[in-house]
Chains A and B, each alone.
Chain A
């Protein structure tokens, strides 16, 4: 291969090289988190490599309050997902399927939380709770999470319902299905991927939320709050173990989903 053709192939694949470099930039912190989950740090902070150890992996709950905060985050994420998905799906159906007054106002009310820096929503919600004298804790976190997840669910479900063929429901009604039966047996299964996508997004957003929780949690400690606190007090290796495990679980879930999807497509 001459130097000229080498240069040409580099130039042709420039976008591929640049793209892969960006991918490396995106994945580098995850690699560091994984490697440092096997670290045995000297001091309180896990920022410098000392020596290999699997202690943290064999004892992931060995740090006080860590697993409690993780359980609390999972619990809040589950309830917030349920609430936001139910409310958001209802709004999405209303927006796509019905004509009604004040549609523009409803649309902007749903768009606004997505176009607002989190810190603004967090601060204003806190002023409401302070003025009302609401005790901060589990319930205020849950209220806040449902609020900011709602818009994302609406957007995800709306996209799916809009691309739905309305004739399928008409066909069901022509075949003597009542409105309720049509909804359960036809509408819901078709809208399910959109609802699932919205729910997944809500879960991820709620589980990883820090800023809004930081303002409205009071002294309740969720997992991101625990990590934030540990950045000041000292970072236990177990944080990296949980971060790595979450990453692996997510990748495995997606891969499994892709396999199931491929198999069902082959069947069809």
Chain B
């Protein structure tokens, strides 16, 4: 330390040296930000403006579209497609709750009980990502196939009678029903729940559990009063990371569902890419975006963790 601070050549020129870098230094952050931020402005923010403008245009594909401030498109889109909107929120909500219920034990296991198997299990949670998620979703077609072992077992346990009565399966079929779609959504977004949960559980000081035990808390009381509240940041970001992509998904509903399980994503996709009714598609997409933003903001406010970013 001393030799460094006593270094002589720095002393004689203290006036000239610092000034130049400082003036240049003031602009450095802007130069660093410029390309990336410009990219996001042009290819993320600007498209939102174009989408908003497209949603109030009228015209046809042949004659071209013009902005006519035709807000009725929003009303028409909502009144025609509200079942799909409702279904999206419902399916994504159920899938999120299921992800939390299924993911929490596994995250807990990795954080506290896995010992030297911890890294192995973590790899097993992440590795499926590298098999394209479309291929893995198609695998559910095999797993839930009509007359397959899973459907057979559920049928002989009379589970399918109950689910059919509830209207989430149809007779002896699981494929092409809401149950299959929710099962696929839950499966696809489960890692997005497990990883944030694990991160927040892993940070918990193990001595807090001992302290709770010393104070005569039963294991479940320790979980309810210590572990779960401390894992709240993970719960909040995990539910967001599951709900947001699930609500806009159309792959599961398309591959595992039927025309009765179409979600809003499916409608946007068909309107945009097959029917080419751009104003309706843009209006639907805009409504979805606004709904998500409102829900997310309210949720973050309510759960009191605003330092997610």
Taking beta carbons and an 8 Å cutoff, which residues of A are in contact with B?
Answer: 15-16, 18-20, 22-23, 25-30, 32-33, 36, 47-48, 87-88, 90-91, 93-94, 97-100, 106-113, 115-121, 123-128, 130-131, 143-144, 146-147, 150-151, 154, 171, 174-176, 179, 204, 207-208, 210-211, 214-215, 223-224, 227-228, 231, 235, 239-240, 243-244, 246-247, 249-251, 254-255, 258
Chain A interface, >50% SS class: helix
CA distance in complex: A132, B84 (Å): 31
Taking beta carbons and an 8 Å cutoff, which residues of B are in contact with A?
Answer: 4-5, 7, 21, 28-30, 32-33, 35-37, 39-41, 43-48, 50-51, 54, 102-103, 105-110, 113, 119, 121, 123-143, 145, 187, 190-191, 194, 240, 244-245, 247-251, 255, 265, 268-269, 272-273, 278, 281-282, 285, 288-289, 292-293, 296, 309
Q: Which residues of A contact B285 (CB under 8 A)?
A: 119-120, 123-124
Q: Which residues of A contact B269 (CB under 8 A)?
A: 119, 214-215
Q: Which residues of A contact B132 (CB under 8 A)?
A: 207-208, 223-224, 227, 243, 246
CB pair B139–A32 under 8 Å, yes or no, is yes
Q: Which residues of A contact B255 (CB under 8 A)?
A: 231
CB distance from B54 to the nearest CB of A (A): 5
Closest 7 CB pairs of A and B: A117-B248, A19-B109, A98-B29, A18-B105, A250-B130, A87-B36, A124-B47
CA distance in complex: A113, B245 (Å): 11
| A–B complex contacts, Cβ < 8 Å, 27 sampled | A15-B108, A22-B106, A25-B102, A26-B128, A29-B136, A33-B131, A88-B36, A97-B29, A109-B40, A115-B244, A116-B292, A117-B288, A120-B288, A123-B51, A123-B268, A124-B51, A130-B278, A143-B43, A147-B43, A150-B36, A207-B132, A208-B129, A208-B133, A215-B269, A227-B138, A231-B255, A239-B138
Q: Which residues of A contact B273 (CB under 8 A)?
A: 214-215
Q: Which residues of B contact A111 (CB under 8 A)?
A: 309
CA distance in complex: A179, B25 (Å): 11
Q: Which residues of A contact B281 (CB under 8 A)?
A: 123
CA distance in complex: A221, B154 (Å): 39
Query: Given A25-B102, A116-B244, do A128 and B47 touch, yes or no (CB 8 Å)?
Result: yes
Query: Given A111-B309, A247-B127, do A227 and B134 touch, yes or no (CB 8 Å)?
Result: yes
Centre residue among B28, B47, B278, B309 by max chain A CB count within 10 A: B47
CA distance in complex: A97, B128 (Å): 36
CB pair B134–A228 under 8 Å, yes or no, is yes
CB distance from A264 to the nearest CB of B (A): 16
CB pair A119–B250 under 8 Å, yes or no, is yes
Residue in A closest to B293 when the chains form the complex, CB atoms: A115
Query: Given A32-B142, A117-B245, A124-B48, do A204 and B37 touch, yes or no (CB 8 Å)?
Result: no
Residue in A closest to B140 when the chains form the complex, CB atoms: A29
CA distance in complex: A214, B250 (Å): 11
Query: Given A117-B292, A119-B288, A121-B44, do A28 and B143 touch, yes or no (CB 8 Å)?
Result: yes
Q: Which residues of A contact B248 (CB under 8 A)?
A: 117-120, 211
CA distance in complex: A91, B109 (Å): 36
CA distance in complex: A67, B106 (Å): 36
CA distance in complex: A107, B145 (Å): 46
CA distance in complex: A208, B137 (Å): 13
Can you add 19 more A-B contacts, CB < 8 Å, to A128-B47, A147-B39, A239-B135?
A15-B109, A18-B105, A18-B109, A20-B106, A22-B106, A26-B191, A33-B135, A90-B32, A97-B29, A98-B29, A109-B40, A117-B244, A117-B247, A119-B288, A125-B44, A131-B50, A147-B40, A227-B132, A251-B123
Q: Which residues of B contact A255 (CB under 8 A)?
A: 123
CB pair B7–A125 under 8 Å, yes or no, is no
CA distance in complex: A23, B45 (Å): 39
Query: Given A124-B47, A125-B47, A150-B36, do A48 and B128 touch, yes or no (CB 8 Å)?
Result: no
CB pair A15–B187 under 8 Å, yes or no, is no
CB pair A91–B33 under 8 Å, yes or no, is yes
CB pair B251–A210 under 8 Å, yes or no, is yes
CA distance in complex: A46, B286 (Å): 38
CB distance from B5 to the nearest CB of A (A): 8
CA distance in complex: A258, B249 (Å): 34
CB pair A22–B103 under 8 Å, yes or no, is yes
Query: Given A115-B292, A127-B54, do A27 and B128 touch, yes or no (CB 8 Å)?
Result: yes
Q: Which residues of B contact A251 (CB under 8 A)?
A: 123, 127
CB pair B29–A100 under 8 Å, yes or no, is yes
Centre residue among A88, A100, A204, A243 by max chain B CB count within 10 A: A243
Residue in A closest to B276 when the chains form the complex, CB atoms: A130
CB distance from B179 to the nearest CB of A (A): 14
CB distance from A236 to the nearest CB of B (A): 11
Query: Given A29-B143, A117-B244, A147-B40, do A100 and B129 touch, yes or no (CB 8 Å)?
Result: no
CA distance in complex: A147, B45 (Å): 11
Q: Which residues of A contact B131 (CB under 8 A)?
A: 30, 33, 243-244, 246-247
